[in-house]
Structures are given as structure tokens and as C-alpha cells.
Amino acid sequence: MNLIDHEEVQFPGLGIKFNIDPVAFKIGNFEVYWYGILIAAALVLCIVLALKQAKKCNFPDTLIYDTMLVTIPCAIIGARAYYVIFNWDMYKSNIKSVFDTRSGGLAVYGGIIACIIGLLIMCKIRKIPFTSLADFCVVYLPLGQAIGRWGNFFNQEAFGTTTTMPWGMWSESTRLYIAMHCPELVALSPVHPTFLYESIACLIIFFVLLQVRKKSTHSFETTCTYFILYGAVRFFIEGLRTDSLYIAGTQLRISQVVSLFLLLFGLFYIAFAHLKNFEIKPFPAKLYAEASTGSADHGARSDAKDDHDASDDSEESEEESEDKDDEAEDEASEEKSGFGEAESGSEDGEDEENNDSKDSEAKD
């Protein structure tokens, strides 16, 4: 493992400096990036927490694995497709570069939209209530985002405009980007660490959603709370960023448009759900049966083992009992034999005494 210092990142107002590299380590010529490590760590943590809390929320734990199998590929494909579509001028001359995700170019909203579509299809096929599935799983989405955003820090990307705030960030990468793409800004000035803003905000949203899910009594309410909170946060942060994607021919930032739509949709749906009293839909009983079957199989194997051990103990007990019976019979036989010999000796003695008496009488 060879860590390489790529550049120095400074927070001048705080007197803090870091030496970072987007590459965490190398395996031969293969480079492993911090971005990928953080995304993988976020995924594992979310799955572990979901499995731990599934029983408490009456959620079929087997459905967590099914959800991951659908959302992981959908998130990657959707995030890449979204970025390419709204940045087509960069890729239209080199189609192969569309598939080069290691060079960057993923959009969170694209991944979220693709995951929603993928889960809708899965729920339709398996006849599972999408709203109940979404309300359980959406809680872990901002946690994953909070962790994943630190990949932007290691890549020195997704930062904001220049700022005089004490937590402003500066590096050679930010200087070069500002000089090339934002000539109206002073390249030597620190920039907003928007990755940090979003990471902190998403962590707060995660804890808020945990409470909402716990107390919610209306279908899709937890999911819409995420739409409202993240939509508001992203709308604000996107206005600070220097790398926003725009709707072609306009000055509208696509992420701000999507954020505003999600925020308004969330507010409208929650109000309507309370007005119409949309109840939480239960999952099919077969999902719980599948989960209990797995537990039952494990229990059956355990019981079989116990029965086998008990059988062995019983056989050993029977053998010991038989040995004891044999010993008892032998002892009884020996006692009987000894008693017979004693009786025989007594009879012989009596015969001798009788004979002696007869001889004495005869002599007299």
C-alpha cells in the first residue's frame, strides 16, 4: 500500500492544512480511490443498520437484500446517465468516455431517480407496497450521502464560489478550476467547501428521518420528509457551486429545478395524506414467512443436532444400564453359588454327626 501526497488543501481562516491524494492505495497498476472506498463503506454501514432495525420496524429483513440488488446497479447507471445527458457536449465526440466512471461524472439525483424507477418495477412484479418499502429504506439514503460527499473532498471537486468565511478552502485544484471556468472570481481566494455543508446537512436529515419513521402513521410520509429536507438543502447548496449542470439553452441549474420539484411535491403529498388519511400499507405475509423459514431451518438443524446428541446419550445410558445389570447378575450368581456350597457343607456335617451318634449307640 503506497499512499501518495497529491496536493495540499488549506483552510487558511482556521489554520488547518491537509496533504491528500484521491488515490488511497495501489494494487499493482490498479488504483483504488478514496471515493470508491467511502461509497462502499457507506453502503455496508447502511445495510448493517437496516438489518439491525428491521425487526423493530416490522420490516421483512430478506427484502433489504433484494432492495440492495436493485438499487446498487440502478444508482450507478442513473447517476452516470444523468450527468452525461446534461453534459452531452463533453461526451458526444467520444462515446467510449461515457463508460469511464473512474474519471468522475456522477450525479446524486440521477441515482435517486433511477433507484425509484427500479424499485417501482420490483414492487410491481412482487406485489409489494412501494410506499412502505420506500419509507423504511429512505432513512439510510442521507447517511450514505453524508459519507460519500467526503469523496468530493479527496477529489477536490464539487466546491463552491469564493468566500471570505473562516472555513473557506483552498488548493491548487480549486485555483486552477476557478481560473479556467470562473474568470470573474479571484482564483487565489478560498472557496465554499460545499461538500462539507451537504455532508453535515445530510447527517442531520438522517437523524430527523429516524424520528419521523418511528412516529409516522401515514403512507409515504417519511419519504416525502426526505424530499422536503434534502430538496431545501440541495437548492441552497447548488446555488453556491461552480460545477452545476444546466438545462440546455437556459440559465436554470437542473439540480435546483429538481430540488424545488421534490420540495413542493413533498409538502403537497404530506398535506394530502393527512387530509385523506393514507394509512401505511402492510407487506404480504409471504415475506415474513420467507424470513421465518430461514430461522426455522436454522432451528431445525439445531434441534436435529440436539436430538442426535440426546440419542447418543440415551444409547450410552442404556449400555451403562446393561453393564450394571450384567454385574448384578454375576454378583447374584456368585452369592447363589456360595450359598449352595454353604448348605452342602452344613448337610455333610449333620450326616457325620448322625453317623458318630449311631456308632456311639452301637458301642453302648
**pLDDT tens per residue, range 133-143:** 999 999 999 99
Average pLDDT over residues 168-188: 96
Q: Which residue's C-alpha cell is 472570481? A: 185
Cβ atoms within 10 Å of 35's Cβ, excluding its own: 22
The per-residue pLDDT for 132 is: 97
Q: Is 361 among the domain residues?
A: no
Beta partners for 191?
A: 162, 169
Q: How remote is the C-alpha of 27 from its chain's centroid?
A: 26
Closest CA to 268 of 209, 211, 212, 220: 220
Asked if the model's pLDDT at residue 298 lies above 60, the reply is no
| φ, ψ (nearest 5 deg) of residue 188 | -80, -5
Q: Is 238 among the domain residues?
A: yes
Q: Is 265 among the domain residues?
A: yes
**Which three three-digit cell numbers place residue 23?**
488515490
Q: List, as one string, the DSSP characters of 190-251.
A: -B--HHHHHHHHHHHHHHHHHHHHHH--BTTHHHHHHHHHHHHHHHHHHTTBSS--B-TTSS
> For residue 84, what are the CA distances in angstroms to 35, 109, 255, 257?
19, 13, 14, 18
**Which three three-digit cell numbers place residue 364?**
453302648
Q: How confident is the model at residue 324 (pLDDT cuts 50, 70, 90)?
A: low
Looking at 224, 256, 283, the residue that finishes a domain is 283
Of 337 and 164, the structure prediction assigns the larger pLDDT to: 164
Q: Is 250 among the domain residues?
A: yes
What number of H helices and E strands is found in the chain?
Answer: 11, 4
Looking at 283, 302, 319, the residue that finishes a domain is 283
The per-residue pLDDT for 340 is: 44
The per-residue pLDDT for 342 is: 42
* Shared domain check, 175 and 82: yes
Asked if the model's pLDDT at residue 327 lies above 90, the reply is no
Closest CA to 136 of 20, 269, 281: 281
* Shared domain check, 310 and 195: no
Asked if the model's pLDDT at residue 259 lies above 80, the reply is yes
Query: For residues 105 and 245, what is the distance between their CA atoms, to the nearest angstrom?
Result: 11
* Shared domain check, 289 and 181: no
* Shared domain check, 302 and 161: no
Closest CA to 74 of 136, 143, 131, 137: 137
* Shared domain check, 59 and 47: yes
The per-residue pLDDT for 102 is: 73
Looking at 265, 283, 301, the residue that finishes a domain is 283
* Shared domain check, 322 and 181: no
The answer to whether 61 and 137 are in contact (CB under 8 A) is no
Asked if the model's pLDDT at residue 333 lies above 60, the reply is no
* Shared domain check, 324 and 227: no
* Shared domain check, 206 and 176: yes
Q: Is 107 among the domain residues?
A: yes
Looking at the 3D structure of the chain, how many domains does it have? 2
Q: Is 52 among the domain residues?
A: yes
* Shared domain check, 291 and 167: no
- Beta strands at 7-11 and 16-20: parallel, antiparallel or unpaired: antiparallel
Q: Is 189 among the domain residues?
A: yes
pLDDT digits (tens, 9 = 90+) for 122-158: 999 999 999 999 999 999 999 999 999 999 999 999 9
Q: Is 4 among the domain residues?
A: no
pLDDT digits (tens, 9 = 90+) for 201-248: 999 999 999 999 999 999 999 999 999 999 999 999 999 999 999 998
* Shared domain check, 260 and 219: yes
> Does residue 162 sit in helix, strand or coil?
strand
Q: How remote is the C-alpha of 296 from its chain's centroid?
A: 23
The answer to whether 204 and 243 are in contact (CB under 8 A) is no
Q: Considering the chain, what is the average pLDDT of its residues?
A: 85
* Shared domain check, 243 and 127: yes
For residue 253, the enclosing domain spans 36-283
Tell me which H or E stretch contains 20.
strand 16-20
Query: For residues 244 and 221, what is the distance between their CA atoms, to the nearest angstrom?
Result: 30
* Shared domain check, 302 and 275: no
The per-residue pLDDT for 90 is: 86
